[in-house]
Structure 1
Amino acid sequence: MNQSNFKPSLRLLDATMIVAGSMIGSGIFIVSADITRNVGSAGWLVAVWLITGFMTITAALSYGELSAMFPRAGGQYVYLKEAYNPLIGFLYGWSFFAVIQTATIAAVGVAFAKFTAYLLPQLSEDRIAVDLGWLTISPAQLLSIGVIGLLTYINTRGIKSGKIIQTTFTLTKLLSLFALILFGLFALKPEVWAANWKDPWQMQSLSPEGTTASYTTIGALGAIAAAMVGSIFSSDSWNNVTFIAGEIRNPKRNIGLSLFLGTLVVTLIYIATNIMYTAVLPLQQVAAAEKDRVAVAASQVIFGNAGTIIIALMIMVSTFGCNNGIILAGARVYYTMAQDGLFFSKVGRLNKNAVPAYALWLQCIFAGAWCLSGRYGDLLDMISFVVVGFYMLTIAGIFILRKKRPDADRPYKAFGYPVLPIVYILMGLTFCSLLIVYKPRFTWPGLIITLLGIPIYYMALAKGSKPKTESETVPVAEEIH
């Protein structure tokens, strides 16, 4: 029998594992190399992760209020639509589908394939599996598409299937990261630690060859913003749990709590991992790690020749679980948009397992296209500006909704309101402004992609669609006949 409503079957632990599992992919194993090249000191390396962690936890605490007010599928898309208007909500949903979610799925899938090639060299990204003349496809790209397709199929079988994979793989990678950190700290090299932390706050540009260059004050701020592109990407997708509110038990309590617990645990792990890097690797080696694979270099110091295989297995587990959470959650946004008449109508239907199968497969197709494009990595850098921009808009929406709907039911109120939300908005504005000035190639492409959604929105309206807000109606899914 086909279903017309989501089944609330996720517990607090499951929701927390979706938060943590969606955040931890391959970034923590790689991006510290680029961060180190930008800031050039151990103190600032850790500080970049601390700043990002503070912003992430602050945003998560703020989203708790919104998730309690609107405990249904769609998450951030719904919050923006309710606080502002349907156009702003659509622009987020459009950007989410066009690049944010689908390109992230592609990037994580390719990372899985790249590290699988450590175990099976025939799957290397450097080989050619298909040559069409105008397009060459590597075995790594084919494997990434296959994994995305497999996870999509599993998630069409029902929320229980996705939940089991998510909880199992996330717990496994959390324990693995804890173990890596502990072994790394046991393997601490006193001379390396002393050299790295001798002058931890001297910010400078550090090249892979070991040469340095100092910054002006404003240049140092630009370097921090450029460094944070990597840490923000590694900490993103924490909000995915809000997209599946309709499938979480007691969502008014558990979504906000899972956001806080998940982001806190991941932030602590990220900071500890980077401290571990500085305990076993000279900063110059962090900056010069082959293909930026800092964790591989550190693991080789800790475990010897077996280190490469250990990290390859860890990243395979990490990226597999990460993609499961992202795939599971993202489709619920397109489902809600379709319910509002702003996406293909079939995407707004549930299958007999009470999941949006059409939305899952459409997401799979676009993610697969990004896998073949080979440009997903560039686009992920470019959209950091847009992602933080939408986070700021969403958090500002708390102030708007408190004024527009002062009597609305708020089972949970944003911790530290109004101070912490304002602090986040100010930090976000600083980050985005510095990127515009110092890294324009990271800003304009993502902004253009977002703005392309405006004519698409009005084309949807021209076809007779009229999105409604929570106060007007709460959509109900159609059945597949």
Structure 2
Amino acid sequence: MNQPLLSRKIGLLQATAINMTDMVGIGPFIVLSIVAKLMNGPGFLYAWIAGAVLSLIDAMVWSELGATFPKAGGSYNFLKEGFGPRTGRLMSFLFVWQTMIQAPLVIASAAIGFSHYTEYLIPMNEFGKKAVSGCVVLLIVLLLYRRIETIGKISVLLWMGVLATMAWIIGSGLAHGNFLAPVKHMNDGLELNYAFGAALGVASVKTIYSYLGYYNVCHLGGEISRPAVNIPRSMLISIAGITVLYLCMNISVASVLPMSQITESKFVISEYIETLAGPIAANIITVMVLWVAFASVFSATLGYSRVPYAAAQDGAFFSIFAKLHPTKNFPHVSLLVLGGIAFIFSLLLKLQHVIDAILAMRILVQFMAQAVGLILLSRRVGRSTLQWRMPLYPIPVILALIMWGAIFVSTGPVLMATGTSFALLGVIVYFAKEAVRKRSELG
């Protein structure tokens, strides 16, 4: 019996929808207040601009690799191809190694954020919040247990809800009549010194978390139609659109609520709409924010479920993850395992710890290593072999490495050590696995 294959049924519209729904999760609604508090004033907009700049620069790296190697698993393939036959096997293994923890952390963070924001509507104790976050993960897995064509349609529907939510938030700020005031005053009291740089670095850790997902289409490379065109376009469109939405949302809120309320609020968007339109409207916008959070978990889980599948198909991970559903043609084992781990994390972890841990774990093995891999690949096979080429190469790649390095340092010594230690443990596991494999081949 022939093994079923992935189908290229996702076009530019669906790919952009998947990216944007992943990007606009619960993150921007929760970290808005945190970023404003860290920046201590109207200059908090600079942290959102910094996140957009890094996302755009890094997306050029993803675009070159994604267009050239449009396969399921994204970074797994990029690292393997970039670092070459020997080192590439190690780097791609490390990516899958960290994905088995990091991907469930991403899924759990959105589910936990969903449960926290639900408190605006229904006050809950700790048990109630854990029950909600766990149920969100289970429902997502249930919805994803179907054909990719149906997934694409669901993604567009969820995306429409995301756009409607952002349109209401931004439109309310524009109608209020004081929209540009935060922009006019964003430099008030601003001093370009070490304190500002340090605050911008820490705040950018939070804003970058809100932009993550612009590359989700790369994990679905084997299911994207016309990948050399649609993968880069979907990422660049997503980042441009989300940057405008994030900046307008932050400006809208700051044009209505005093900074003292923004920095202390747990439900800043709901309070913002309540100030303008009353409690009923606030409840409605809260439901819409929860829709956005749910859409983000859906999109992130979809993309990550393809990573262990790609590694297993390549013989670099447990073979059971290579199985596709016999009739629906999606990697159901990978989906169920990642969903199960995410379910456990959603019951055990706190949101603030999860946000910082996600970045600390990914920067070294994925973002920075991928940029280095692109440089090595370009030297080895030549730039002409790439299906999409960034302008001004290698300047964007070097900038990406510098900026990711700064973000890594800003996560703090504990998380830096944790991320590095987990990567080193992966190296040990890899060489132990290789030793066992070689002994079995000789025996």
TM-score of the superposition, structure 1-length normalised? 0.84
Whether 1:401 aligns to 2:377 is yes
3-state DSSP of counterpart to 1:71? coil
Whether 1:86 aligns to 2:60 is no
Shift of 1:237: 2.1
Shift of 1:347: 0.6
Residue in structure 1 matching 2:304, options 327, 330, 352: 330
2:100 alignment counterpart: 97
2:342 alignment counterpart: 367
Q: Output the amino acid matched with 1:47.
A: Y
Q: Output the amino acid matched with 1:71.
A: P
Gaps of 5+ in 1: 128-137, 204-214, 467-481
3-state DSSP of counterpart to 1:30? helix
| TM superposition outliers: structure 1 runs of 4+ over 6 Å | none
Q: Output the amino acid matched with 1:142.
A: A
Shift of 1:382: 2.6
Residue in structure 1 matching 2:187, options 200, 213, 227: 200
Whether 1:114 aligns to 2:89 is no
Whether 1:232 aligns to 2:221 is no
Q: Output the amino acid matched with 1:444.
A: A
Residue in structure 2 matching 1:297, options 263, 267, 271: 271
2:40 alignment counterpart: 40
- The 5-angstrom pairing of residues 8-19 of structure 1 reads 8-19=8-19
Whether 1:419 aligns to 2:413 is no
Contact 2:165–2:285 (8 Å) recurs in 1: no
Change (3 A) 1:379 1:320: closer
Q: Output the amino acid matched with 1:158.
A: R
1:447 alignment counterpart: 420
Deviations 1:110-156 (A, max 9, x none): 222333444444xx2x15xxxxxxxxxx2332232222222212322
Deviations 1:10-69 (A, max 9, x none): 111000111111111011111121211221221x21111111101101211221111111
Deviations 1:177-216 (A, max 9, x none): 02210112212458xx75884462524xxxxxxxxxxx89
Root mean square deviation of aligned Cα: 2.3
1:270 alignment counterpart: 246
TM-score of the superposition, structure 2-length normalised? 0.91
Contact 2:205–2:407 (8 Å) recurs in 1: no
2:258 alignment counterpart: 282
2:359 alignment counterpart: 384
Change (3 A) 1:294 1:251: same
**CA–CA separation in structure 2 for the residues paired with 1:164 and 1:358:** 23
1:157 alignment counterpart: 146
Shift of 1:300: 1.7
1:146 alignment counterpart: 135
Change (3 A) 1:218 1:167: same
**CA–CA separation in structure 2 for the residues paired with 1:154 and 1:2:** 26
Deviations 1:245-287 (A, max 9, x none): 1111111211111111111111111111111122111212111
3-state DSSP of counterpart to 1:427? helix
Residue in structure 1 matching 2:433, options 456, 460, 473: 460
Whether 1:171 aligns to 2:173 is no
Contact 1:338–1:344 (8 Å) recurs in 2: yes
Shift of 1:392: 2.4
Whether 1:180 aligns to 2:169 is yes
Gaps of 5+ in 2: none
**CA–CA separation in structure 1 for the residues paired with 2:133 and 2:253:** 28
1:21 alignment counterpart: 21
Deviations 1:157-194 (A, max 9, x none): 2112322221111122112202210112212458xx75
**CA–CA separation in structure 1 for the residues paired with 2:187 and 2:59:** 30
Q: Output the amino acid matched with 2:67.
A: A
3-state DSSP of counterpart to 1:234? helix
Q: Output the amino acid matched with 1:455.
A: I
Q: Output the amino acid matched with 1:457.
A: Y
3-state DSSP of counterpart to 1:238? coil
Contact 2:109–2:354 (8 Å) recurs in 1: no
**CA–CA separation in structure 2 for the residues paired with 1:3 and 1:318:** 36
3-state DSSP of counterpart to 2:220? helix
Contact 1:382–1:441 (8 Å) recurs in 2: no
Shift of 1:92: 2.0
**CA–CA separation in structure 2 for the residues paired with 1:324 and 1:263:** 19
How many residues matched?
433
**CA–CA separation in structure 1 for the residues paired with 2:150 and 2:315:** 29
Q: Output the amino acid matched with 2:96.
A: G
1:477 alignment counterpart: none
- The 5-angstrom pairing of residues 422-437 of structure 1 reads 422-433=398-409, 435=410
Shift of 1:407: 6.8
